[in-house]
Amino acid sequence: MNKKIFDKINLGGIEVNNRIVRSATGELMADSNGYVTDKLINMYDELCQGNIGLIITGLTEVVKGTQTHTLMKIHDDSYIEGLKKLTDSVHEKNNKIVVQLVHHGAQIHGNPDYIPYSPSGVGDEGAAFKPKEISKEEIKKIVEDFGDGALRAKKAGFDGVQIHGAHGYFFSRFLTPYYNRRNDEYGGSIENRILIILEAYENIRSKCGEDFPIFIKMNSSDFAEKDGLTFEDSKKAAKIFAKVGFDAIEISGGNLRGKCSPVRSGIKTTEDEGYHKEYADSIAKEIDIPVILVGGFRSLDVIEEALENTSIEAISMCRPFIREPKLITRWIDGETQKSKCVSCNKCFNPRGTSCIFNKN
Ligand SMILES: Cc1cc2nc3c(=O)[nH]c(=O)nc-3n(C[C@H](O)[C@H](O)[C@H](O)COP(=O)(O)O)c2cc1C
C-alpha cells in the first residue's frame, strides 16, 4: 500500500486524521498530587490546534504512593474528573487522545521516602537508593493497578491507553536481563520476562472490554554493552504482543544503561533522523498490528520516505511538538521547512516541559 502522511486511517482501533502521532511527553504540569491543572489543559489546547493525528499523554502513574513530582496520576477515582476535563477539551477540538500508563518503579528522581520495587532488587549505579525485589503478591497488585488505571482512563473518556514498556521504567526492567535476574516464571527467557506485561494486558482487557484500544511502547533494543534487551528478543516480544491482542506497538529504544538514549541529542542531518527505523520496519514486516515509530524525525520528506518505503503505519514525534505545537499545520499549509527543534534536550524542565527557544 502506498502510504501517505495525510491519509485518514484507523490506527489500532482509533480513527485518526493523519499518520502523525505525538509521542508521550511528560508534561510536569499537574499539581503536586498529580491532578490535572489549567496549565496542562492549555498546553494540550495548543497541541490540538496543530492537526496531529493522535496525541499520547505523558507518562501517568497507576500505582499509589509513587513519587513523580508534577506528572499526572491515575491511581484512584478522584483523578477521573480532571482527566475528563482534559479529554473533553481535546475532543471538542476534534482530536484523539490516548493516555500513557506507567509504573515508574525505581526510575524516579531524587531520594524517595519509600523503597521502590524492581524485578530483582538491582538498581542503578550512583542512585540514591537501592530498590527492593518485588514479590509475586506485589506483582499481582501492580497488574491490578494497571487494569484499574485503564478503566479509569476509559471512564475519563480517553480513546485508548498505552502501556509504557520502554526506557527503563518498571515494565521495561522486566525485559532487561541486567535488572531481571529472577528464577521464577517472571524471569529467564523473553517469554517469561514479558509475562508481567501480558498479565497487565489481560487485566486491562477484562476490565475495559474487547474494543478498547490498548497500545504498548517498547524498546527495539536497550543498546547496552551487556545484559540489555536485544533486538532479537524485542522482536519475539513484539510478535507475542501482536498475537495476544495489543492494538498497536510504538517502537523506541535505549535506557539509562544504554549506549544510546531514547532521546538522542544533536540531530542535524537527515541521516540522523528516524534512528529506530530499521528495527521498527523489521518488526512491522512480521506482525499484523500497526507499528508506530519514534525517534528523531524532523523533516517532512524523511517522514514521507519512511512511510512510503517501510511497513511502518505511523510516525511519532515528541520534541518537535514542544518547540512547535503547530508543526503539522505549518506543513499542511505548504511551509515545509523541517522542525525548528535542535534536539538540545533543554526541554526537560521541572517547572513544566517547554522549549528554551520559546520564551515569551
Ligand atoms: C521532555 C520529554 C519528556 C518525555 N516524556 C516521555 C514520556 O512521558 N513517556 C515516553 O514514553 N517517552 C517520553 N519521552 C521520550 C519521547 O516520547 C521520544 O521517545 C523521544 O523524545 C524521541 O523522539 P523525538 O526525537 O521526536 O523527541 C520524553 C522526551 C522528552 C524530551
Please write the tens of the pLDDT for every residue from 43-52: 999 999 999 9
Instruction: Please report, as a single letter, which amino acid is at residue 251.
Output: I
pLDDT of 83: 98
Percent of the chain past pLDDT 90, that is, above it, reads 96
CA 162 to chain centre: 7
Residues 316-333 have pLDDT tens digits of 999 999 999 999 999 999
CA of 319 to the centre of ligand 1 (A): 7
| Topology at the third CATH level for domain 9-358 | TIM Barrel (3.20.20)
CA–CA distance, 52 with 46 (Å, rounded to integer)? 11
Could you tell me the pTM of the whole model? Answer: 0.98
360: pLDDT strictly greater than 60:
no
Nearest-CA residue for atom 9 of ligand 1: 24
Nearest residue CA, atom 26 of ligand 1? 317
Cα distance between residue 355 and residue 323, in whole Å: 5
Asked whether the beta carbons of 12 and 162 are under 8 A apart, the reply is no
CA of 24 to the centre of ligand 1 (A): 6
Ligand 1 binding pocket (C-beta < 6 A) is 23-26, 58-59, 100, 164, 166-167, 217, 252, 262-263, 294-297, 317-320, 347-348, 353
Sign of CA dihedral 13, 72, 152, 93: negative
Say what the pLDDT of residue 258 is. Answer: 86
User: What pLDDT is recorded for position 111?
Assistant: 85
Q: Which residues pair with 15 in a beta bridge?
A: 10
The mean pLDDT of 158-174, rounded to a whole number, is 98
Between CA 248 and CA 14 the distance in angstroms is: 10
Domain positions in the chain are: 9-358
Which candidate in 79, 117, 169, 178 is catalytic? 169
CA distance 214 to 68: 23
- Does position 124 have pLDDT exceeding 70, yes or no? yes
Residue having the nearest C-alpha atom to atom 21 of ligand 1: 263
Average pLDDT over residues 2-25: 98
Catalytic: 279? no
Is the pLDDT confidence value at 335 over 60? Answer: yes
Helices within 163-230 (DSSP H only): 170-175, 190-193, 195-208
Give 41-78 as a 3 state SS string: HHHHHHHHCCCCCEEEEEEEECCCCCCCCCCCECCCHH
- Residue 338 banded pLDDT, cuts 50, 70, 90: very high
SS3 89: helix
Q: What pLDDT score does 126 carry?
A: 85
- In this model, does residue 359 exceed pLDDT 80? no
Q: What is the pLDDT of residue 1?
A: 72
71 CA to centre of ligand 1 in angstroms = 14
Q: What is the pLDDT of residues 274-318, one digit of tens each?
A: 999 999 999 999 999 999 999 999 999 999 999 999 999 999 999
What's the gap in Å between 183 CA and the centre of ligand 1? 32
> Residue 50's pLDDT is what?
97
Three-state secondary structure call for residue 106: coil
Burial readout 285-301 (b: 16 or more C-beta within 10 A, e: otherwise): eebebbbbbbbbbbbbe
How many Cα neighbours within 13 Å face the side chain of 124?
A: 19
pLDDT for residue 127: 87
Distance CA 286, CA 284 (A): 5
Mean residue pLDDT across the chain: 97
% of the chain with per-residue pLDDT over 70: 100
Nearest to 171 by CA among 135, 200, 138, 131: 200
Instruction: Give CA–CA dist 162/14, Å, rounded.
Output: 13
Atom of ligand 1 nearest to the CA of 296: 25
pLDDT in tens, 44-101: 999 999 999 999 999 999 999 999 999 999 999 999 999 999 999 999 999 999 999 9
Task: Give strand ranges (E) for the chain.
Answer: 9-11, 14-16, 20-22, 54-61, 97-102, 117-118, 132-133, 160-165, 214-219, 248-252, 291-294, 314-317
